[in-house]
Amino acid sequence: MSKSEQYQSGFVPDFQPQSSIPGKQHKLDPEPHDLELADGSQYKPAGKLEGKKAFVSGGDSGIGRSVAILFALEGADVSIVHLPEEEKDAKDTADKIKKYTDGKRKVLLLPIDLTTEDNCKKAIAEHMKAFGALDSLILNHGTQKAVESILDLSSEQWHHVFDTNIHSFFYLVKAALPHMKQGATMVFNASINPFVGHPGLVDYTSTKGAMVGFARSLSNQLVGDKGIRVNVVCPGPIWTPLIPSTMTEDSQKSFGSKVPMGRPGQPVEVATCFVFFASPDSGYLSGQTLHPNGGSYMG
């Protein structure tokens, strides 16, 4: 089945569990789409981020990989932060960027666990050392693990999910902000879940709701005085390594089939939202959310 046929057929991947979180993209079958759009064409860049320097967390796989690739195609040099154990996926992403841009864009791989404040400071410092500027702070990393009952949700998992999904965002913003100038952008990757309330992802859903509130407050603080825009992307079901590494067999077999479009989305269909929010095309938008979710209405 071709990639365009996968889109049109309402393709739902077969169950293919992975033991590590957030999962390995190079083990997925089929591999998520980084560039290929629903009509069978490839993403067409237009120089929207020419000369910019972007920091992309979780850029080794899934949505983050597609964001990093599209940003590079649009003219940005990119730092990609990834867990040390995701080295192969990160290198694959860097290789793709070099291939698609004919080696014109610089890529810095940063194998850093972002769950501590010191590591977040280190990641920003390494980016600044390499590039000397920070125009787009793209915070995409995250973790989840389904637990059906809150009575079975351990305090250790609750704290780990918050450390990964929201505390690190606070640390990274504080470390990055002194380096960001007027016209810079921040874009966070949240989720559909705080708008619908996923019953099996109470901790994850809570962090994503906190992320939306954090971004709105930041926007009101930064956009006027500093001219830094802050926005959020809230994807629905997207085919990424996080799915086979965190979902049950029943959930994965029906993954994406319940949205109006009847299929899971692909990373590139979310990454285009990040390009929009990071570019001058969205110059009058801040504190806003975009919902690439297959047609589900978020009133």
Asked if residue 260 belongs to a domain, the reply is yes
Q: Look at residue 6 in the predicted model and tell me its pLDDT.
A: 63
Instruction: Indicate if the pLDDT at residue 110 is higher than 80.
Output: yes
Q: Which pair of tokens denotes residue 81?
A: 């932060």
**Mean pLDDT across 49-69:** 97
Phi and psi, residue 197, nearest 5°: 80, 75
Asked if residue 99 belongs to a domain, the reply is yes
Tell which wins on pLDDT, 247 or 185: 185
List the domain range (segments joined by +) for residue 230.
Answer: 57-143+154-290
Distance (Å) of CA 131 to CA 66, 124, 150, 219: 21, 10, 44, 25
Asked if residue 28 belongs to a domain, the reply is no
pLDDT band for 113, please (50, 70, 90 cuts).
very high
Asked if residue 45 belongs to a domain, the reply is no
Whole-number mean pLDDT of the chain? 92
Asked if residue 299 belongs to a domain, the reply is no
204 is catalytic: yes
**Residue 111 CB neighbours (<10 A):** 15
Q: Look at residue 13 in the predicted model and tell me its pLDDT.
A: 67
Q: Look at residue 256 in the predicted model and tell me its pLDDT.
A: 74
Asked if residue 81 belongs to a domain, the reply is yes
pLDDT band for 258, please (50, 70, 90 cuts).
confident
Q: Look at residue 162 in the predicted model and tell me its pLDDT.
A: 98
Tell me which of 43, 100, 171, 204 is the catalytic residue. Answer: 204
* Domain CATH code at residue 66: 3.40.50.720
Instruction: Indicate if the pLDDT at residue 123 is higher than 70.
Output: yes
DSSP 254: T
Asked if 23 and 104 touch (Cβ cutoff 8 Å), the reply is no
Give the least confident one: 98-107, 115-124, 150-159, 257-266. Answer: 257-266
**How far, in Å, CA of 34 to CA of 270, rounded?**
10
Number of independent structural domains in the chain = 1
pLDDT, tens digit (0-9, with 9 covering 90-100), for 158-206: 999 999 999 999 999 999 999 999 999 999 999 999 999 999 999 999 9
Asked if 80 and 56 touch (Cβ cutoff 8 Å), the reply is yes
Q: Which pair of tokens denotes residue 6?
A: 């996968």
Q: Name 31's Cβ contacts closer than 8 Å, sequence gap at least 6.
A: 25
Q: Look at residue 246 in the predicted model and tell me its pLDDT.
A: 64
Asked if 90 and 141 touch (Cβ cutoff 8 Å), the reply is no
pLDDT band for 120, please (50, 70, 90 cuts).
very high
Q: What SS3 class is residue 278?
A: helix
pLDDT band for 299, please (50, 70, 90 cuts).
confident
Asked if residue 75 belongs to a domain, the reply is yes
Query: DSSP letter string over 182-245?
Result: TT-EEEEE--SHHHH--TT-HHHHHHHHHHHHHHHHHHHHHTTTT--EEEEE---SB-STHHHH
Q: For the full predicted model, state whether its pTM sits above 0.75.
A: yes
Q: Look at residue 1 in the predicted model and tell me its pLDDT.
A: 56
Q: List the beta strands (DSSP E) in 53-133.
A: 53-57, 77-82, 107-111
Q: Where are the alpha helices (DSSP H) in 44-192?
A: 62-73, 87-100, 117-131, 155-162, 168-176
Tell which wins on pLDDT, 31 or 273: 273
233 strand-pairing partners: 189, 290
**Mean pLDDT across 39-44:** 93
Asked if residue 23 belongs to a domain, the reply is no
